[in-house]
Amino acid sequence: MRVSYLHGGDILNTEKDILKTYSLRSGYDGETVLRDVSINFPSGKTTFVLGANGAGKSTLFLTLNGVIRPLSGSVAFCGETVRYDKKSLKRLREKIGIVFQDPDDQLFCPTVYEDITFGAVNMGLDELEIRRRADCVMEITETEAFKDKSIHALSFGQKKRTAIAGALITAPKLLLLDEPTAGLDPKGAAKIMRSLNDIKKKTGVTVVVSTHDMDMAPVFAEHICLLDGGRAVFCGSPEDFFKTPQLLRKHGLRLPRISHLFEILNKRDGVNTNASASTISAARKELLKLIK
């Protein structure tokens, strides 16, 4: 069952792509970081924005959210070109939530509940609606158990979930997450990604994740954009992306561990396998073919 209020409010999206950029050039402090970036983010899908450190992923997210104004080019959200007057930006930021890599850059209220509800309070919602939304987002982010705790008493993973809950309170149509698994152990990283999948199913929000974690991407990505040196060098399906290992290596990324294993089996050991297998499920199918 989907959570009704988290369907993006009064902005109707009939577009195949919820967000698109057109020849986007952006940067800060007089430096151009993004150069001629034209990419798309399909509605209702989980998109991974991949790239090595310094590729421009964080700058892209801040530009999409309106924190940084483009130097040239444009951004279209739900089919409409983004405007940068005060009223339009306030509305945009309610509908495009952003979660920073370091939750300490985002959490500033004394308690978890106050931080989660800050965005709803800022929207001028009444107390009853604020409580209703808070109960909903705390349930789906599993933050209710520590809602009265001080932010400083939380674990790093709890802070991440609190930041996600705070981004969801405004009922965004799109959720941008900058390196959401950074600083977490493998178990914690997998839990965050499974939570995001669950949130997407329950709310209908489109999820965009920036990362250079090449083992998470084949498991959770439904669409992939690759940045290098501030330019978009790939935008398409995971299947097309992972079947061209030379593309990944050329732009500073390694193969997923499973893909690398199958590449070794194929090239060094002469085992006739699909070298693009990048998940446990795909690897299992390939191995079963060999032993049957």
> Of the given ranges (11-15, 17-21, 58-62, 232-236), which has the lowest mean pLDDT?
11-15
pLDDT at residue 15 in the model: 66
In which band, very low, low, confident or very high, does the pLDDT at 6 lie, cut at 50, 70 and 90? low
Are both 93 and 203 inside the same structural domain?
Answer: yes
41 and 165 together in one domain: yes
> Does residue 25 surpass a pLDDT of 50?
yes
Domain count, the chain: 2
Question: With contact defined as beta carbons under 8 Å apart, do 52 and 231 qualify?
Answer: no
Each residue's pLDDT tens digit, 57-78: 999 999 999 999 999 999 999 9
173 and 267 belong to one structural domain: no
Residues 145 and 276 in one domain: no
For the record, the structure tokens of 195 come out as 């939570």
Q: How confident is the model at residue 34, as a pLDDT?
A: 98
29/141 same-domain check: yes
Tens of pLDDT along 199-209?
999 999 999 99
Q: Looking at the structure, tell me whether residues 11 and 135 fall in a common domain.
A: yes
173 shares a domain with 288: no
Token pair recorded at residue 287? 């191995």
Residue 123 forms part of a structural domain: yes
**Residue 276 binned pLDDT confidence (cut-offs 50, 70, 90):** confident
244 within some domain? no
Burial of residue 138 (CB within 10 Å: 0-12, 13-18, 19+) is buried
Query: Of the candidates 193, 209, 238, which is a domain's last residue?
Result: 238
281 and 191, same domain (yes or no) = no
Is the separation of the CB atoms in 18 and 77 below 8 Å? yes
> Does a structural domain hold residue 202?
yes
Residue 141 and residue 70 share a domain? yes
Asked whether residue 145 falls in the same domain as residue 222, the answer is: yes
Compute the mean pLDDT over every residue in the chain, rounded to the nearest whole number: 91
Give the pLDDT confidence of 214-270 residue by residue, as tens digits.
Answer: 999 999 999 999 999 999 999 999 999 998 999 999 999 999 999 999 889 888 888
Radius of gyration of the chain (CA): 20
Higher pLDDT, 8 or 26: 26
Helix 280-291, helix 257-267: angle, nearest 10: 30
pLDDT at 3: 53
Which structural domain, as residue segments, surrounds residue 219? 4-238
